[in-house]
Every structure is written in C-alpha cells, then in structure tokens.
Amino acid sequence: AFFSKTLIKLVSMASKFGMAGGIPERRVRPVWDAIDSRQFKNALKLSTALLSKYPNSSYALALKALILERMGKLEEALSVCINAKELLYKNDSLLIDDLTLSTLQIVFQRLDHRYHILILLASSVDMATGCYEYACGKFPNNLELMMGLFNCYVREYSFVKQQQIAIKMYKIAGEERFLLWAVCSIQLQVFCGNGGEKLLQLAEGLLKKHIASHSLHEPEALSVYISLLEQQAKYGDALEVLSGNLGSLIMLEVDKLRLQGRLLARAGDYGGAAEIFQKVLRLCPDDWECFLHYLGCLLEDDCSLPRVANSPSIQLSTSMDCNHRHLADDVFDSRIARASEFVEKLIAEAEVGSDSVRGPGWANLEIERRKLIFGKGNADKLMEDLILYFSRFGHLACFTADVEVFLQVLPGDRKKQLLDKLVKSVTSSSTASKHVLGQHITLFKIRELIGDMFPLPERDLVGFAVQMTEMYCQNLPLSKDLDVQETMYGEEFLSMTCNVLVQLFWRTQHIGYLLEAIMVLELGLTVRRYVWQYKILLLHLYSYWNALPLAYERYKSLDVKNILLETVSHHILPQMLTSPLLADTNDLLKGYLRFMDEHFKESADLTFLAYRHRNYSKVIEFVQFKERLQRSSQYITAKVEESILHLKRKANSIEEAESALESLKYGSDFLDVSNEIGSKKLTFNEDLQLRPWWTPSYNKNYLSGPYEDLSCRPRENVRNEVKEAEAKVTRTIEKRSLLPRLIYLSIQCASSSVKGNLNVNGFDSKVSSELKSLLERYANFLGLSFQDAVELVIGVSCGQKSFEVLSSNIIDWMNFAVFLNTWNLSSHKANSPDGQTFAINWQVLCSLLEQCITAKISSTRPLLSSPGTELSVLIQLVTEPLSWHGLIIQSCVRASLPSGKKKKKGGTSEQSNAQLSNEIKNSVSSLYGVIEQVTKWIKEQTDKPVDGNVDILLSSLDREGNGDAPGKVVKILENVVLSVDDLEVGERISQALRSWKPAEVARKIVTAQGTALTEFLNVCESKAKVLQALKQQM
C-alpha cells in the first residue's frame, strides 16, 4: 500500500509538467501502469525499451532499478541504482529533478530496508543522501531538492543537519513550516542528544523573530512555541503568549483551559490553576485526569500535578505517603471541603442514573481516600460511597479497576464488611438480568482483588468455582443472538473459575484441579474462539505443564501483530528460549526482530509525514518512541538469543558453526552490546498486567514453590520483585552477549593447542589472553572472582563441595567450566607468563557434566503427573554446555587429522599430543555416554501408550462429582452439553458445546508433551550421531 501511494505521488509530480525525468510522460506512462498493476515482467520489458531510446537518462535507470527490486533481483537493482547515481555525477548537462532523486531514494531505502547486507561499500540510505547533496550543490535554491535532502536527514536521524537545511529553506522561502522544521530538529537534539539550554534559546529566538514579522498561523506552531518555553521553565512567558492574540489559534476553549491550568500549576500558582481546572470539569465532568490535576493543585500534591509537554500522563499515586502531608490541618480541611462542595455540584448536575458519566462519583471516592491518607478520613464514609458507586456502575467491566486504589486504603476487616454489603445489595436487587449479571461478575472480581479467596477452606473455593461455572451456563441464552466476535455475557466467569481451580491445585498439588482449569478454558474457546484472556491463561498453564507445543499454538492464535509483539511476546518467548522447539523458537525470534527492524525503518517515513502534515508534536513522539524501542530489553535480548540459537542449531557441524560465527562477526558485535548495556537505560515495555496472578513476571511462578496466602502479601513486594527481575535482565544480557565470542575463542584455542602452533606471530597468545579476560568477566557476572569461580568448579567436580552451590545458575556454571577447560589447555601449552594453570582438564570437565546431567535426570519427575517439572534445565544443559563442548572436541579432532605435510618429530610435543588425543577420545566416549543416558530417559517417558496416559489424566477427576476430588466443575459442563437446547442458546453455541470433549483436551496435553520430548530426543540423537562419527574418525 505504501509503495502504491509513493508511485502515485511520483506520477503526480511528473504530471505537473508533462515530463518525467526529462522524458515525455506519454513514454513513461505504460511503465508506471505495468508497475501499478504488479505486472513486473512486462514493466521490465517496457523499461528496457525505454532505456534503449534514452540511454543517458538517470530516471530511466532509476525506474528499471525500481522494477528489479520489486522482482526480488536485489543485486541487479543495486547495480543499476549505482549506475544511475554515477550518471548523475558525471554529466553536468543532465537534468537533475526531484522525481529522479525520489525514485532512486525509494529503491535505495527499500534495498537497505530489506537486504542491507548486500550493500558492501556504503549503506543505501547514504547513497540516496549523497545523490541529494550533489543535486542541492548544483541547484542550491531548489526547494524540492532541499526537501528531499531534509527527508534523507530525517531517515538518518541527523538532527543537526535537519536543522541546517531547514533554516536554509526558511531563508529562501520565508515559510513558517520550514522554521518549525528547524525548531523541531533543535528540540530533538535536546530530547535525544546532548543539546542543552543554548539550543532552546536559539529556537526561541528564531520563533520570536518570525512572530514579530509574520506572527503564527497554525495551532501546531503555537504548541511548539509554548513547549519550548515550558522546557525552559518560562511559564509566565507561555501564559502571556496564550492570553495574547496567538491564543486564538487554539480552536477549542476546553483545550485552551487545560493548557492554561497546566502552565499555572507549573508556575506555582496553584489557586489560579485550580480555578481553571474547575472550569474544565464543568465543561467535561468525566475528565478524570483533570480532576486529579484540580485536586493536586488544591492540596499542592506533586504526584498529581500536570507534567510539562511531551511527558507521560500522571499516574494516580497508590502510596499512603502523599506529598500534601506538609499542609496544616486547617488548610487541608478547608481545601478538601472546597473540593467536596464542588464535586457535589457536579454530581447534582450529572444526569441521574446515567452510566456515561462516572467522573464525579469517582472524584468523591478520591476525596475520601485523601482524607484517610491525611488521617482525617472515615472508612465507613468511604464504604458508603463505594456502595453508592457500585449501585450505579457495578455492572460495568471497568468497575474493579476504578475502585482498586480505594480498596487499598481500607483496613482488612472493612474490606470484608464492604464485600458482605455488596453481596446483600446484589441479592436483593430486582434490576434487569444483564445488569445483575454484571454486578455478580464484579463481586467475584473484588473477591480476587482483595485476596478474599486465599484464606477460605477448600470446600468453599470449590463452591465458588461451581457457582461461577453454573452462572456462566445459566446466562448462555443472553448471548444467543450475538455475533461470534462479540463479547458474550458472563464469559469472565470462566477466567475466574480457572483462577480458583489453579489456586486449589497450588494448595493441594492435585493435578485434577489443573486439568479442570484447562478444560474450562478450552470449553470457553470452543464456544467463542476470540477470547484472548482464555488463550493467555491456557498459554501459561500449558507452559507450566511442559506442553509447550500447545502453549505456542495458543500464542499463535492470539494473532499478535505490530507493536503488540513488543508488549505481548513475554508470555511465550522466555519458555521457548529454553525449549527443544528450536525451529519454532527461530520463527518466533525472526518474526519479532523483523517487525522491530522494519518499524525502525518505517518510523522515519512516519516522522517525515508528520513534518509534511505539520503535526510537530507527532514528530517528537515518533522519534522518542523509536528511541524507546531501540533500548527495549526484549529487543536486545532477542538479538542476543537469536545469535545463540543460530549456534545451537549449527553445533553438530564445526564447519557450519564457524560459518555461523563468521556471519556474527565472530561475536565481536555482541561484545559491544555487553560493554554498552550497563550505560544504557533499558526500557521494559511488557504489559505485565495481562499475566495470570500466579506468574506476575516471566521469572516468577508461585506454583513452583510452596503454597502461601497471597492476600497477606503487600503489593509493594510484587513491585520490588518486578524491579529485581528487570535488574536481572540487564545482567543476563551482559553475560549472554559474551557467549558467541567465548565459543569462537574456545574453538580457536582448542585447535591451536592440538596443532602445537601456539604463539605463532603472537596471534594465539592474544586469543588466549582475550579468552581469559572474558572468563574473568563471566565469573564476575556469576558473583565471584575468576580465581574463586575456578576453585568452586574444581571443588564441585572433585566432590569437595556440594553440587547445590551451582544449582541456581547451573547453565552458566557449566558454560564457564567448558570454556575454562579450553583456556586452561591453551594456557598450559603456551607456558603463559602469568604461570596460571588449574587442575581442570578434559576428565574433570566430563565428570562435572556427567554429574550435573545425572542429577537433573534423577530429579526430573514424570511430566504427566508432575506439572512444573524443570525439563527446560535438562534441555539447556544439552543444547548449550554440551553443544559448546562438542564443538570444541570437533575442532580438536579436525586439527589432529593429517594435513598432508610432514611434521618434524619432537618427542615432548608428540607425547603431549598423544596424551591430548587420548583425553579427547575419553571425552567423546564420556559425552556419548551422557547423551545416551538422556536419550534413555526420554524414551522411557515417550514409550508409554498415549491412551494409557490419557486415562491416567482423566482418572484424576471425579466424573460423578460426589466426592471431594476435583471434577465437580467438569461434571456441570458435561451436564450442560448433554442437555443443551438449540432454541434456548442458539444453534452456534449449542453446536460448539457439543463439540467439546474432555477426553480430547487430555489427549492434546499428552500429545503435546510427547511432541516436546520427541523434539528433545531428536536433538540428543543428532548429537549422538556426531559423537559416534568422531569416535570412528579417531
């Protein structure tokens, strides 16, 4: 679509003059039509004919390059583009027009966008810029060419050059837009670079001078001017501008008032700002953010005051320690009374019984909350207001989110009292069924929110699960006439039922409850396949139960696209990175990285469009958003993990692994990532609010630990855990970024140690030194000095220290041991000047790996009966340290094979190499034995018949529903399926219900676990084949 629009633009440019790059339009029109109809072969034929008539036309060449790029002939397209560029440079008599340059720029941009690795001499964007710079040099006053050059600088994010060319255009044309382009470029230097106060003063001076002679004519221009003044804290000047003639540029009075209130508040005139915000609230009583600004000004509370332009919106403080505690009691009383009086008027003016205006009622709750925080409030009054708010808005899906912050200030016993009163109000209600249904859903949400479920006995929890399931089934007729894509009435009941059943599983460790939770959600998806909440819950349940293929299937069904890839991928990506589903993980990473890289390219297009359409606030927004995404922790993690995954997939062949390392520049780029990551302020863009309660962050799962009452757990603890997880991500990126380079250096050291040519030209000495330096850094990431880390590894391998000391970072420790062995080998061979060698060798390393994997196998319980089993650790041990060790062995074996040259005999060297050869043989045998051990365990798991495993799962449910065992919820659903009436619930819903089979759900779980294990088996068997071949070679 973007390409077609661009083509139309180019055609329109040519149509103005009847010429296209110096060629009559009638000659070019057939080529355009063929391109537009995607008949590229015909277009190429016509283009070739055009070139034969106009061989010296740069535009004809550019057009041919455009066609070749669209046909996927990228190298040819690049070659033709370069020829067109050189033709422009060589022949001064040729016409240089914007159409030719724009066409070249499109092709260069698309080549750089899609396959920039083809461009060896310079990036294609640089080539396009060079063309425009040359053209502007020849025709210095051509605005069209200068705008094209400005566009090039926008694509390069060259803010200084943008400013310079924009000022040149302003001097030539005197147009307001060019001045604002320059001012925006200056602001971007301040926001995204090292620019400071002087640059802002320069921008202000330019605007003042323009205003004095020409005034301003666009609302966006006024916004830019005021934002400049705000950035310099010149709030008085900004207010003066707003109240003058320029203020009339803001068309809506309420927008002008909001801006005036913000400026007054930032200037410290809280009284004046409060009066202005009152005016806004009279016009827009539902403007919640404005009410917080109003209350913040009255109480001089910094956490509620409006931010300056281009800052994030305020967040309602949930802290009990707000900043208005400095106010004297009488001042607080008078100001809060003033706010209450004003809100009462808003409530009286609001339409009685209207669901559309929640603001005044919400504001009343906030006032009572502030009173409680200040020590002047009354919990009973807040409860009364909450009950009143519930009576009007309790049926809305947003109610629980509305009142969450107010419930937090209530003492525990009052929360329980409030819940009891709300239950009574719903029970005695005689309103319409849909209204009452919404209130019932809200009641269960409030129970979840205040943690009321956790202290309850198991029988009561089962009772709630049964009650919610029954209510879902009873209300199915309400959704009879709804489209399949419309939200059904009561579908939240199944999500909440799942939450209760998962809690029961955590408490009892009975897998029947977990199975029931899955079956409930699968029924919900059978009835309506578009419920993303069900899919996310299932994704995490399947992941926990080691049915990752099913989890990945549910993730794909979410149809995550565009920026949601950044905010939603955290649900599946961490699990996939430690799974045996290497091909699927590769697809997931490539899809995510492809979107991100394309977005970075396209954001420049969006930025320039914002310039062209004079939407300058969007210019700043687009650039800042792009900067934020470039610092995304998930993006950087994905880039690092993609490189490691690439090496994992090639680890069975030393030649393929070396080719992969070459494509990764031997890990040097990732060393830069590791070096720079500490100075970067990473962004964490994941939407954690969508995660289930039992896994609030990707590295935390309550189900893996002992049961605890989470209702007693302060919310601050969860926030602290999230912050700790974020800090851990930074350290993990630093550490994992070292792996590609460590692997490359280890291969080099191992090969050199076998060949006996260490220290030739000093190269191998440098490799060994660099390897040691990286190992020292790696050890520091593990929390120890290099010396202490070595002693710990040796101590564990010799049985002097418990294996448990390595368990928290077992993969990292095994990786360290593998690389340490290689460095120690080369260090010993080279007689390094520091004289450091350690008692680690091939035998010690193999013993350590064997101990580690044997311990993991013995502790890994059967997947079916033991959800949460850490199979991923065993998988990582095989795909990482064992794989890297296998690569190093392959390197040694290859180096030990005869090269065709006769070597001089040297007794000591030959004995040393013979000893090394025996050690390598023993290592191959040891590694083969370890892989065989893992293979045997996997086969024991997969050899069981599927039907038998399905029966085991189904036996965990009491299908009669008479005893205390899980099964009551499933029994209700089975009864509904048997008794469903087409006329009552509609044909679509009844057919969907009948297609739900509990046994099929169990079968899918068993099959998915088997698929994951089979993939792991394939990985192990491929490694066993490689080791077997190495045995034969030696």
Q: What is the pLDDT of residues 458-492, one digit of tens each?
A: 999 999 999 999 999 999 999 999 999 999 999 99
Query: Is the model's pLDDT at 309 over the cut of 90?
Result: no
**By C-alpha distance, which of 417, 356, 426 is closest to 390?**
426
Give pLDDT, residue 890.
94
145 vs 578 pLDDT, higher one:
578
pLDDT at 99: 77
Q: Quick one: pLDDT band at residue 356, thresholds 50, 70, 90? A: confident
The predicted structure's pLDDT at residue 320 = 45
**pLDDT value at residue 318:** 44
Whole-number Å distance between alpha carbons of 1013 and 206: 68
Write down the pLDDT at residue 314.
42
| Tokens, residue 768 | 């060994």
The rounded radius of gyration (Å) of the Cα atoms in the chain is 34
336 Cβ contact list (under 8 Å, min separation 6): 298, 299, 367, 370, 371, 374, 376
CB of 314 closer than 8 Å to CB of 307? yes
Higher pLDDT, 23 or 593: 593
Q: How many residues in the chain?
A: 1034
User: What is the Cα–Cα distance from 542 to 552, expressed in whole angstroms?
Assistant: 9
CB-count burial class (<10 Å; 0-12, 13-18, 19+) for 625: middle
Position 760 scores a pLDDT of 45
pLDDT in tens, 276-292: 999 999 999 999 999 99
Q: Which residue has the tokens 């061979």?
A: 829
Which has more pLDDT, 990 or 601? 990
- Residue 632 main-chain phi, psi, to 5 deg: -65, 130
What mean pLDDT is predicted for residues 943-970?
87
Residue pair 318/292 in contact by the 8 Å Cβ criterion = no
* CATH architecture assignment, domain 1-156: Alpha Horseshoe (1.25)
* Pair of tokens at residue 453: 């479920």
Please report which confidence band the pLDDT of residue 69 belongs to, taking 50, 70 and 90 as the band edges: confident
CA 652 to chain CA centroid, Å, is: 31
pLDDT at 834 over 80: no
Give me the chain's average pLDDT, please.
Answer: 87
Confidence at residue 23, expressed as pLDDT on a 0 to 100 scale: 81
Residues 651-702 have pLDDT tens digits of 999 999 999 999 999 999 898 888 888 778 899 999 989 999 999 988 889 9
> What is the domain partition of the chain in residue ranges?
1-156
Q: Read off the pLDDT of each residue in 162-174 and give the average, rounded to a whole number.
A: 95
Tell me if 692 sits within 8 A of 536, measured CB to CB.
yes
Q: pTM of the entire structure? A: 0.88
Q: What is the mean pLDDT of residues 370-391?
A: 92
Q: What percent of the chain has pLDDT over 90?
A: 60
pLDDT of residue 423: 92
Least confident of 6-15, 151-160, 818-827: 6-15
pLDDT tens column, 862-892: 999 899 888 999 999 999 999 999 999 999 9
Considering only 761-770, 792-801, 816-825, which range has the smallest mean pLDDT? 761-770
Residue 8's pLDDT band, with cuts at 50, 70 and 90, is: very low
pLDDT of residue 963: 67
Q: Which amino acid is at 221?
A: A
CB-count exposure of residue 336 (10 Å: 0-12, 13-18, 19+): buried
Element (H, E) at 90: helix 74-90
| DSSP per-residue string spanning 646-697 | HHHHHTT-HHHHHHHHHHTGGGHHHHHHHHHGGGS--B----GGGS-TT-SB
Instruction: Please give the structure tokens belonging to residue 362.
Output: 């919400």
For residues 514 and 966, give the distance between their C-alpha atoms in angstroms, rounded to a whole number. Answer: 9
- Mapped onto helix, strand or coil, the DSSP state of residue 986 is coil
Closest CA to 324 of 370, 362, 282: 370
CA 300/CA 272 separation, integer angstroms: 12
> DSSP letter string over 224-242?
HHHHHHHHTT-HHHHHHHH
Distances from the Cα of 57 to the Cα of 7, 48, 161, 676, angstroms: 19, 12, 30, 47
- Type of residue numbered 339: A
Burial annotation 514-553 (CB, 10 A radius, 16+ → b, else e):
bbbbbbbbbbbbbbbeebebbbbbbbbbbbbbbbbbbbbb
**Calpha distance 446→492 (Å, rounded):** 13
Lowest mean pLDDT of 104-113, 203-212, 808-817, name the range. Answer: 104-113
Task: List the single range of 18-22, 314-318, 612-616 with lowest mean pLDDT.
Answer: 314-318
On whether the CB atoms of residues 580 and 545 are closer than 8 A, the answer is no
Angstrom distance (rounded) from CA 579 to CA 699: 15
Alpha carbon distances (Å) from 663 to 117, 640, 667, 885 = 10, 14, 9, 21
Q: Give pLDDT, residue 676.
A: 85
